[in-house]
Amino acid sequence: MGIAFPMVLVLSLLLYTNGISKSLAARPPVVNIGSILQLNSTTGGVAAIAINAALEDINSDPTVLNGTTLKVETKDTNCFDGFLGMVQALQFMETDVIAIVGPQCSAIAHIISYVANELRVPLMSFASDATLSSIQFPFFVRTAPSDLYQMAAVAAVVDYNHWKIVTAIYVDDDYGRNGIAALDDALTAKRCKISYKIGFPANAKKSELINLLVSVSYMESRVIILHTGAEPGLKLFSMANRLNMMGNGYVWIATDWLSAYLDANSSVPAETISGMQGVLTLRPHIPNSKMKSNLISKWSRQSQKYNHSDLRVNTYGFYVYDSVWTVARALDAFFDDGGSISFSNDSRLRDATGGTLHLEAMSIFDKGRKLLEKIRKVNFTGPSGHVQFDASGDLIHPAYEIINVIGNGMRTIGFWSNYSGLLSTVPPEALYSKPPNTSLANQQLYDVIWPGETAQRPRGWVFPSNAKELKIGIPNRFSFREFVTKDNVTGSMKGYCIDVFTQALALLPYPVTYKFVPFGSGTENPHYDKLIEMVESNELDGAVGDIAVTMKRTVNADFTQPFIETGLVILAPVKRHITTSWAFLQPFTLEMWCVTGLFFLVVGVVVWVLEHRINDEFRGSPRQQMITIFWFSFSTLFFAHRENTMSTLGRGVLIIWLFVVLIIQSSYTASLTSILTVQQLDTSIKGIDDLKNSDAPVGFQVGSFAQDYMVNELNISRSRLRALGSPKEYAKALELGPKKGGVMAIVDERPYVELFLSTYCKIAVAGSDFTSRGWGFAFPRDSPLQVDLSTAILSLSENGELQRIHDKWLKTGECAADESEMINSNQLRLESFWGLFLICGVACVISLLIYFGIMLRKYMRHEPKKSLRRFISFVDDKEPPKNRKKRSMSLPASSTATAPMTALDVERPARPVRNGSVIDIEG
């Protein structure tokens, strides 16, 4: 009795503590997991086989769960009947399971995720719907890649092939809508877009699908993204083939549903496979491994065992297999950490209204959060690759294979990896050990066989029969009609700006239908600010012409990359006079003057060194010798040097130098003549300050922004401004001048000025450009044409087409050149004479080397004591008369006259006598 009472007390306390809870042992013999699948589908059948294969391997290995057996309870649901499938799934949640594999359908996964959160049961789902997030659903564990990554791979393929618009066809449910939303975001990041998207119900009739494809055929895009399930997707391919939409020009990209179907089905009808030739599809990348090979090798036996002998393993089979192993490994860690399996009723699910739903039958997994924590921390390698979850709850390193359907099978043409975000022919696992290289230049795919059995990449678009026609405003100019004008005979628009626009449109990867709408009467130039306002108000879809990009206009519209650089300049009448008293210095650049002067001195010094010992004209006091060097060197400029050269080396250097002087002198004379002729045409106005400080009238072109610029930026009174409408009015107003009713100058943009100066040569540009702008095409805010045309204009500039258009319409004559530019072009630069100076310098160096070599040999032969000081004195000494007589025997008589003895000769001591004779220094 004493022992029984404490036992009763303990039992009572346990019952009171647990209430209505259902408790199991910490290491129970059996643990149940659940699976929610549609077994009559390809993915559901493969998943069922993978779950049972994983359970067999886990339960046959005693080291995994240490004697605990893992069992599965499967619920067959209907993905196409959403309501029935949800009810079936909710009924299944009444079962006490510690985790659920599935469901495969996005709609059911959303509902069950709410229930899993409430019951704290981890949901190991391979649904790819991107909106299923572990942030909203903490107990949702995605065990396959999200559609966010798949759509990023699709966008990378679209961008790699330079397509800008696509058509999206999708099944109209959570899976389809959310997948296309992810695709839209991914394409936008690549500056591409979905031009047309159309959904259809999962149970759509044949007539509905045909109407859908017909509407797609009317669109301009020929790149079609198909995001559906296997059954409706195959129907669409079959009907598209009958409608000739699987031929040349079309591009079909199917998401991973197609690869999953083709991988899993061993016998695909020949008609089905032939109707999708050239299609691209994606497949989640599973690295090759021994574990993968082992699962493939035993799959046939497993599929026969579970009545799915016609199904082979696909990527979802690998992911589901590893999902079960993830639960098993997490459960083992859960038990090791002291976890136990127990369930409790949820008081919030009691039916207080007396209904018949029996929600109270659902139980909460008491330790569900702890098991979820263990699942998030798993880290192992399975047949699907490395199984590990990142901070957001997704598998690390998601990657996809890009596959081309060819013949009776599929060929991998490349890979996409989220690690780099690029396409590559190298498997992703080979990149993980290296830093990610995100340069688009490194992208590469193997060649594709496109629909129609062609290897040439389709353009991706055609001109649609029902596309919106853009209204493009064109200024109908009165003057400077070379830029843009309306042809009075045909009514068409033509000119420089029109050619640039049409050539840029031809480079776009999609068609643009448009019509030109003339703006202005043609009797005077229109005001361009009003044209931009019409673009802003959507009266026009764009404006093309000689439209300057100003700050005021960029507030109202987006502009393309400028296709011509321009700025405001001043036109003024010219007068003839030399602008500077130092014009004679302009033929040479500063470098040329410096190097030429330096070489005059260098040559003078070299000749002095070579002649100093033997030529009396190069001797004397230091002062006299310095004067001789300077006089001799600079007198060679006029060939007026009086000193004769006696040495062979000195004469050689002098001949080369005189040739250089002859070339330089002739070039200087020609350049100075040209510059003085150009400088005769000069304006009295030096720049913008002269306009601001004067009260005289200033002209501007009608419709130009120059009027507002001078008033607002330069503070020039509006009363001083005169509107001029044509080049003739320009010339007349400048000719009359301000005193006779004309203007002192005209402010206009450089392209107009260059065209004007090609005809009127007595007018010139004063100063330089005082603004820096360009002309561009205007479009409404955030228009994709603005970005794409900017890229096209840059291409025109790089391939030279922009310059050819410029030469066609705006080729100017001689009068258009800027005088300052002509002066600069006539200046002689050091680069032009570098060869001459090099030859002369080399001759000087070689002559000095030969001379000092001879002197050193003589010094070594005749001087007993050797020192640098004695050698310098030896070189400086005058050559003895005996030797000079020998040297002068070959010279003319006039050259052999004895020079008078200098003071140096008197003061120099007599040479020592050796063996009774004076030393002969020449040996």
According to the per-residue pLDDT averaged within each range, which of 250-264, 359-373, 458-472 is highest?
A: 250-264
Residue 799 in any domain: the answer is no
Same domain for 263 and 177: yes
- Here the CATH number for the domain that contains residue 612 is 1.10.287.70
* Alpha-carbon gap, residue 465 to 215, rounded angstroms: 11
Same domain for 153 and 52: no
Determine contact, residues 519/476, Cβ cutoff 8 Å: yes
| CA atoms within 13 A of residue 621's CA, in its CB half-sphere | 3
Same domain for 544 and 428: no
Residue 36: left (phi > 0), alpha (psi -120 to 50), or beta? beta
Model confidence at 775, in pLDDT bands (50, 70, 90)?
Answer: very high
Same domain for 157 and 281: yes
Q: What is the pLDDT of residues 614-630, one digit of tens each?
A: 777 777 777 877 877 77
Same domain for 278 and 405: yes
Residue 102 in any domain: the answer is yes
Same domain for 114 and 223: no
Interior CA angle at 683 toward 679 and 685, to 5°?
135
User: Using omega within 30 degrees of 0 as the cis cutoff, is the peptide bond preceding 287 cis?
Assistant: no
CA 872 to chain centroid, in Å, comes to: 67
Determine contact, residues 402/423, Cβ cutoff 8 Å: yes
- Here the CATH number for the domain that contains residue 537 is 3.40.190.10
Last residue of a domain, one of 630, 651, 677: 677
Whole-number Cα distances in Å, 731 to 484, 666, 684, 698, 743: 22, 40, 16, 13, 10
Same domain for 132 and 156: no
Q: What is the pLDDT of residues 847-877, one digit of tens each?
A: 888 888 888 888 787 777 777 777 777 777 7
Same domain for 272 and 152: yes
Q: What is the pLDDT of residues 432-459, one digit of tens each?
A: 888 887 777 789 999 999 999 999 999 8
Last residue of a domain, one of 736, 752, 775: 775
Whole-number Cα distances in Å, 68 to 31, 72, 331: 7, 13, 10
Residue 610 in any domain: the answer is yes
* Alpha-carbon gap, residue 249 to 641, rounded angstroms: 84
**By residue range, what is the domain housing residue 540?**
470-563
Same domain for 503 and 639: no
According to the per-residue pLDDT averaged within each range, which of 249-253, 480-484, 547-551, 610-614 is highest?
A: 249-253
Model confidence at 431, in pLDDT bands (50, 70, 90)?
Answer: confident
Residue 861 in any domain: the answer is no
Q: What is the pLDDT of residues 699-712, one digit of tens each?
A: 999 988 899 889 98
Residue 453 in any domain: the answer is no
Q: Indicate the SS3 state at residue 763.
A: strand
Write down the pLDDT at residue 694. 87
Specify the amino acid at residue 1.
Answer: M
Residue 217 in any domain: the answer is yes
Phi, psi angle pair for 865, to nearest 5°:
-105, 130
E strands present in 244-398 = 251-254, 280-284, 342-345, 363-365, 380-382, 385-387
Query: What does the CA dihedral 610, 615, 619, 624 come to, rounded to 10 degrees?
Result: -90
Q: Is the pLDDT of residue 193 over 70?
A: yes
Q: Is the pLDDT of residue 922 over 60?
A: no
Same domain for 153 and 278: yes
* pLDDT greater at residue 608 or residue 8: 608
Determine contact, residues 547/525, Cβ cutoff 8 Å: no
Residue 262 in any domain: the answer is yes
- Here the CATH number for the domain that contains residue 135 is 3.40.50.2300
Q: Is the pLDDT of residue 918 over 60?
A: no
* Alpha-carbon gap, residue 29 to 147, rounded angstroms: 39
Same domain for 200 and 80: no
Q: CB neighbours (10 Å) of residue 759?
A: 14
Same domain for 163 and 265: yes
Residue 729 in any domain: the answer is yes
The residues pairing with 35 across neighbouring beta strands, listed in sequence order, are 74, 101
Write down the pLDDT at residue 824. 55
Q: CB neighbours (10 Å) of residue 874?
A: 16
Structural domain tally of the chain? 5
